[in-house]
Structure 1
């Protein structure tokens, strides 16, 4: 490792939509005048990409394009989705679609277009291993980020302000844990490359692969639909714990939980009330499916009943209680809680649309835990540090749902959150630099 790590004032871990929005906010702030801190981001992917493994044909965004990287903070920004359309020459044709919801493929292209403007401040292909404290007189003075590039070579980077937006870890149900690494067990985050590796190209002859999708949310039904189209001979089971697929509640009053003001509402409430608020709105985001997709899937099941086919099965009230690898596939034990019955089925592949797990504090921060005064981020997404120098801060994006609400892991208020973090860091820098000047004048 080099003795002297590269130094920036601000370092962001991860360069997905959250830290991309922060990059824009920082660039705007720097352009507005001093202070002008330097900033850089570390991203493990070799190039920018947002949920590339779920770029399914016909899949649309579930939020309005107005909730892009910047518009809620600055609707005049050149990084808006509308300006992206204008730049690409598609503004009028997009308007003719009469929709607020672009396709997922187009939105990923928008994000990639915005990310290209920051290629000079992003270190792609680097995986963060840990964050270490740098001390001065026993106080936390800086962070040293240990990473490795694609060839395994070590990289050290140093900063005083750290923003972690590394995303969640794929959640794999406990009965499947022993099969992590088996290519026939696929999480939705790796769906497209994973299913191609497990099954290969679609075939019109040979055996009919039997496939299992686990999960009761949007991704699960999208994957079932895609599997049926991608592999016309496949037989597909969808196992859900609930008695029915549930529609996402996107009605106006309920949808206000995704407004920027809702963060103040949740954060300012007593802890038990926060939990109740989040639980009361879970039907907006967790284990729910767009109503149009539910209607389409129901029609598919009805159509096969008319035809006397059984390509798709919705296995309600069902848990997979065991999963075993065999030469012929993955042997699943499925328990129907209502019927009290249990059966076994061998599947060519099992796809887990089971979401993501997020720790309150990411494990990569373990070396700095002794310097945390608590593990709950404040209103400005900042973890309390003690003892620390004045110009040191640690922010989290995407890890504070229990205190900041359902917007925390979603795209809804990215620019507002990014603006708050940028303002907080710049205020600290401004105050610290102002304190230095009088001291220097008296020396």
Structure 2
């Protein structure tokens, strides 16, 4: 059986970028497996006009190799769209453009294997080296079972749509959909006549804005409400010094913190990457203002600091057609109220997990059952199993950031090859995220003196 230097499981943007950066390297024989039939990125949210929230430089490869033939600009040139993109004068590609670009890259890479559902990963002896081991990966295909051997693994299995407990298992006549399935469900949502968006962030705002055009107008008139437990409809913080937190230095700082402090920071920093674009916030307000200027009440309500704590289906509601009854709790007031709706869109995010195909003891886990990811993105004692996109709890805001993916992939390839195929920047920020060494020593000395007294 052939032995690969590197085997990736899951082909999202991060592993796709790794495959693109590994392709020209003579000392990396790589293969990447995915259970899907081809590349797809958030197809349920390809709302017309929606953009990604990072500049085009945050493509699969540019921040590691600006000369790569797999860059976003290379795709624009190859498809005859470079000059229109230039004239448009916006750093932010359309979401549909980014998906097309990724699929263009995927079509060019011979290292990708689609339709492979990984069922097990175990250690096996390396026949070429006495006492060493390899990883044996078993995958189920439409034509039977395949086995692969590799020296290094990269786990890029991504995250799965998450529904809060209150909305899980609801059984009723109207649709209850996660935003990942929004577009295929849009007609059914609107047909019910009353839609409630539950959740926060960019996805919730995009769905609300998309449905707002038909709210209170005929034909296709429907009621639209938005419920979020966030204290406000906050915009993503995108100032330059804040953006320096997507840096190697801040990641070093974040990784060094105790697990409890990292978990608190992770919740506090959500507006850094889970907020709403400022332009979209303004567009929603302007649309509401324009509709209200016609002199009629817009059938919509926006509720912040409000959580859905329970939900049920009332078959006798809405003139016998049935409707959902949501129990809402306002955090500041501590009061509850019922809200009725015919359909629900859950913009409640995604959750990662450790895949069940990994043999017991293969990876290190923390006290909460999550990957115990080291600074160089490994999760095993021998530093041969890497994680991409599953380290938000250990590495903070850089984990889900598309713009930092190429930097992380450069670190992984350096670990695999024992050299630095792509230059790895160690310092890029003007600010410092901890105390200078002299300051730390002075504080430590003062503390020791205080204890002595």
TM-score (norm: length of structure 2): 0.80
Does structure 2 conserve the Cα–Cα contact (< 8 Å) formed by 1:266 and 1:403? yes
Aligned residue among 192, 208, 211 for 1:224: 208
Separation of aligned partners in 2, 1:123 and 1:283 = 36
Q: Output aligned runs, 1:4-23, within 5 Å.
A: 8-23=4-19
SS at match of 1:367: coil
Aligned residue among 167, 178, 186 for 2:169: 178
SS at match of 1:350: strand
SS at match of 1:314: strand
Structure 2 match to 1:128: 118
Of stretches 9-18 and 138-147 in structure 1, the one that deviates more from structure 2 is 138-147
Structure 1 match to 2:341: 347
Confirm whether residue 369 of structure 1 aligns to residue 364 of structure 2: no
Separation of aligned partners in 1, 2:143 and 2:344 = 31
Structure 2 match to 1:241: 229
Separation of aligned partners in 1, 2:414 and 2:172 = 42
Displacement of 1:227 = 2.2
Q: Output aligned runs, 1:42-191, within 5 Å.
A: 42-118=33-109, 120-135=110-125, 141-149=133-141, 151=142, 153-179=144-170, 184-191=175-182
SS at match of 1:309: coil
Does structure 1 conserve the Cα–Cα contact (< 8 Å) formed by 2:162 and 2:349? yes
Of stretches 99-108 and 325-334 in structure 1, the one that deviates more from structure 2 is 325-334
Q: Deviations over 1:186-244 (max 9, x none)?
A: 11122212334x44xx66xxxx6111111121110101111234674121111011342
Q: Deviations over 1:142-187 (max 9, x none)?
A: 22333333x5954443323110111112121011223399982211
Does structure 1 conserve the Cα–Cα contact (< 8 Å) formed by 2:19 and 2:111? no
Alignment CA distance shift 1:158-1:290 (3 Å): same
Does structure 1 conserve the Cα–Cα contact (< 8 Å) formed by 2:174 and 2:342? no
Aligned residue among 402, 416, 426 for 1:425: 416
Separation of aligned partners in 2, 1:183 and 1:122 = 39
Alignment CA distance shift 1:7-1:331 (3 Å): farther
Alignment CA distance shift 1:253-1:370 (3 Å): closer
Aligned residue among 194, 212, 235 for 1:210: 194
Separation of aligned partners in 1, 2:159 and 2:171 = 17
Of stretches 245-254 and 289-298 in structure 1, the one that deviates more from structure 2 is 289-298
Separation of aligned partners in 2, 1:123 and 1:396 = 19
Displacement of 1:275 = 5.5
Does structure 2 conserve the Cα–Cα contact (< 8 Å) formed by 1:228 and 1:234? no
Structure 2 match to 1:282: 270
Does structure 2 conserve the Cα–Cα contact (< 8 Å) formed by 1:41 and 1:122? yes
Does structure 1 conserve the Cα–Cα contact (< 8 Å) formed by 2:73 and 2:82? yes
Alignment CA distance shift 1:133-1:21 (3 Å): same
Equivalent pairs, count: 403
Displacement of 1:273 = 6.4
Structure 2 match to 1:299: 286
Structure 1 match to 2:440: none
Alignment CA distance shift 1:10-1:136 (3 Å): closer
- Superposition RMSD on alpha carbons, in Å? 3.1
Does structure 2 conserve the Cα–Cα contact (< 8 Å) formed by 1:216 and 1:242? yes
Q: Output aligned runs, 1:388-427, within 5 Å.
A: 393-427=384-418
Structure 1 match to 2:435: none
Separation of aligned partners in 1, 2:9 and 2:256 = 28
Displacement of 1:79 = 1.3
Q: What residue ranges of structure 2 are gaps of 5+ in the alignment? A: 316-321, 420-453
Alignment CA distance shift 1:183-1:133 (3 Å): farther
TM-score (norm: length of structure 1): 0.81
Of stretches 332-341 and 185-194 in structure 1, the one that deviates more from structure 2 is 332-341
Q: Deviations over 1:23-70 (max 9, x none)?
A: 12211322xxxxx34221111221111111111111112111111111
